Amino acid sequence: MERALFVTPLYAGLLALWFLVLSWRVIQRRGKGTYLGDGGDQGLLRVIRGHANFAEYVPLALLMMGFLEVSRFSIYALHALGIVLLIARLLHGYALSFTEHSSFGRFWGASLTFIVLAIEAVLCIYQGIQGQWIWCCAR
């Protein structure tokens, strides 16, 4: 029986909308005259890093979430990871793209993102080892 993904696409879609907001912030700031790099503008640098940081971490988190979902991992755990990732990225992106000095959002956004990545990594490794064991030894 074929199994469709339901959880990962939900969070991928929500996070993609936030990524568009962060992208728009970069475009707005660049419209003020700096078309490449940050031109020494610390505000522009923060907006660029908020956008880039999202692009650096979210794809891996979603990829691992998809692996877990395909391997029929708990839908409740997947939703928990998705909610925490979404909150983390909202906090981090808001802190860098919409404020001047928000260490709270940056700290908690980064910390929660790392926690999600670590949990997903351990679960993926576990699922991978379990699958290898079933494939090679349970025949």
pLDDT of 26-73, one tens digit each? 988 877 776 676 666 677 788 889 999 999 999 999 999 999 999 989
Degrees (nearest 5) of the Cα angle 19, 60, 72?
Answer: 110
Residue 57 neighbours by CB under 8 Å, 6+ apart: 89, 113, 117
What does the alpha-carbon distance between residue 65 and residue 121 come to, in Å, rounded to a whole number? Answer: 9
CATH number, domain with residue 60: 1.20.120.550
Query: Which residue range forms the structural domain that includes residue 102?
Result: 7-137
Asked if residue 96 belongs to a domain, the reply is yes
Asked if residue 133 belongs to a domain, the reply is yes
Asked if residue 1 belongs to a domain, the reply is no
pTM of the prediction? 0.89
Asked if residue 2 belongs to a domain, the reply is no
- pLDDT band at 12; cut points 50, 70, 90: very high
